[in-house]
Amino acid sequence: MKKVKKAIIPAAGLGTRFLPATKTVPKELFPLVDRPLLLYVIEEAIAAGIEDIVIVAGRGKTAIEDFFDRSYELEDTLAKSGKTDLLEKISKIKNMANIISIRQKEALGLGHAVLCGAPVIGDEPFAVLLGDEIMLGRPSVTEELCQAYDKTGFSTVAIMEVPESDVSKYGIVKVSPNGSTFKIHNVAEKPSVKEAASRWALPGRYVFESQLFSYLKNTKPGKNGEIQLTDGMNGLAAEGRLYGTTFQAKRFDAGDKFGFLQANIEIGLQHPETSARLKTYLQELTRGWK
């Protein structure tokens, strides 16, 4: 059985939850302290053994490609001024993995964005990591999914339980327990609490067999008029080839204002240059709060 060596990171969304900031800056490049969101996602993929990473971006997101390219002027200036530590940091980025850039010409939905990566994936299994979901901690979620795929050969996706109030923000799965994992019978994109089969939600980490593409090709626009990844996944579920698993990492929805702030605080508390001062600041700030 083939190992999971390729991943798709869809980064074509318009980032409307972060306007006006996202008017010219892709949300995937927003910093968590000093590193863009996308770098955390890419590192998660690399930690799982992924070698080729396809970034599917839309119009107005060329800064993402530039981020993984050489920056001659900056590198030259840093070299001349002896800032070797900074130079090393930015030089490392372009050698991290094999980054392949694909343009989604129309924002037709997440399922369509994933389908844009099909020519690079071919008939191999692949991971999908949503660019605004940040998972901190090891083992990485993608690593856990790849291990599950290695054992079973079935598409396996991360699932998490959410409160009722959040059900309508996610793809929701109908599951039955299957040893340490769950068999997924059906997926619904952002159902109302009344329609939802459970509170088990998709937090944006998936490992798929390439068969998913054949379903996505035939997927018609669904929720919000978009070609939904979840609708394509239903093809795999109907064949009994879709499983769900919980995960150990801590997850932040950094595409949302509150989740973004949380992730920044969490990483700021771990960062050697900010941790001590941030901790003291938070203690001072919250002293006397109820």
Q: What residues make contact with ligand G1P under the rule CB under 6 A?
A: 110, 130, 133, 170-171, 189, 201-204, 228-230
Nearer to ligand G1P, 154 or 170 (CB): 170
Q: What number of helices (H) and strands (E) belong to the chain?
A: 11, 15
The answer to whether the CB of 91 falls within 8 A of the CB of 68 is no
CA angle 214, 216, 220 (to 5 degrees): 125
Residue closest to ligand G1P, measured at CB: 171
CA-CA-CA-CA torsion sign (262, 278, 42, 240): negative
| 3 state DSSP class of 218 | coil
CB of 128 to ligand G1P, least distance (A): 10
CB of 133 to ligand G1P, least distance (A): 5
Burial class (CB in 10 A: 0-12, 13-18, 19+), 24: exposed
CB of 219 to ligand G1P, least distance (A): 12
Nearer to ligand G1P, 103 or 223 (CB): 223
Cis bond upstream, residue 203 (ω within 30): no
CB of 171 to ligand G1P, least distance (A): 3
Burial class (CB in 10 A: 0-12, 13-18, 19+), 33: middle
Q: How far is CA 185 from CA 144, 161, 188, 236, in A?
A: 21, 16, 10, 9
Nearer to ligand G1P, 87 or 263 (CB): 263
Nearer to ligand G1P, 142 or 228 (CB): 228
CB of 230 to ligand G1P, least distance (A): 5
CB of 174 to ligand G1P, least distance (A): 14
| H/E segment holding residue 110 | helix 110-116
Burial class (CB in 10 A: 0-12, 13-18, 19+), 13: buried
Nearer to ligand G1P, 203 or 244 (CB): 203
Nearer to ligand G1P, 14 or 269 (CB): 14
